[in-house]
Structure 1
Amino acid sequence: METGRPTADCSGPVAQPGNSEGPGGIRHMKVFFDTSAFVKRYVEEPGTEKVLEICDKADQLVLCVICLPEMISTLNRLVREGRLQNDEYRKLRDLVLEEIEDAEICFLTPEVVAQTIKCLESNVLRAMDALHLGCALVVEPDLFVSSDRRQLEAARRAGLKVMEA
């Protein structure tokens, strides 16, 4: 399993136009990553190249507050499965902790909970997948990225621009 620091950077101005315009007319792209896609930034899996490409184009990264615990859970599962060594785990954990300091974190608010409930009532979703989607609907990203097809379909129906990773 290949792991390590990705070459892509999710900060800085966007070379290609996004949907929102910032100071001085510079276009920006705000990208919301579900954990299923964000983990591919750190662990080589199908979709990693696409995630890194999106990070190259994004200047604002948005994550749900549950993304970090889900990431740690995923990395620990990889250790238990023997796909990741303990020293690799510690390096990746520290890298994730360092890099998400620059991300916008969407916290649980009454508005997020209300959106999450609407998502659960109108789609076949697991609660945590609906929570990511509820956050995304509140923060209104230019792009919602996930590896979960049901979640992507629900996001598309809710009016978000989506990309599968």
Structure 2
Amino acid sequence: MDDTVRYDVKAAFAPQDLRTFRTGDGKTYAIVSHFPEKKLIIDTWIGGFYTVAEFRAVLTYICDQFDTGRYAYWLADLRHLNSGFHHSETWLAEYAFPRVLAGGLVREAVVLPEDRGDPADYDVFGSASAALRKITDGKIRGFGNVSDAKAWLFDVG
């Protein structure tokens, strides 16, 4: 995988990789890493996944990590994802998000791609925006870049 995709995330947090997710044909589509000193978990999406099960496997893994009590912050980097997840917007709001809240989530920052007006199956911006609207408690917010996301995640004021 091209590390330039994660350059600004690596520069901002110096994360350690936990798990790489691959499609059935071996292509990497997500990497989950963490920065334990800040109680931060990061999911970086690359290219696309093929099935709902592949998408949900990453989020279920993150939920499992929050269940350990080791994390309080979450950065989701969707800028390089090219598969929409409209099929899982309600699942995210009703299953995944309550699980991470119960596991101690303080804040989640979602770094969004540009709105390119893609069709629903490829519209990551539309999928993420719809999911963010379903979760309106103020603990999750979308950003256009990693530096703004980092500043908000760890804002103590």
* TM interval, short-chain normalised: 0.3 to 0.5
Which structure has the highest strand share of the two?
A: 2
Please report the TM-score for the alignment, with normalisation by the length of structure 1.
0.32
User: Computing the radius of gyration over CA atoms, which structure comes out larger, 1 or 2?
Assistant: 1
TM-score relative to the length of structure 2: 0.33
Instruction: Name the structure with the higher helix share.
Output: 1
Q: Does 1 or 2 have the higher relative contact order (CA < 8 Å, sep 6+)?
A: 1
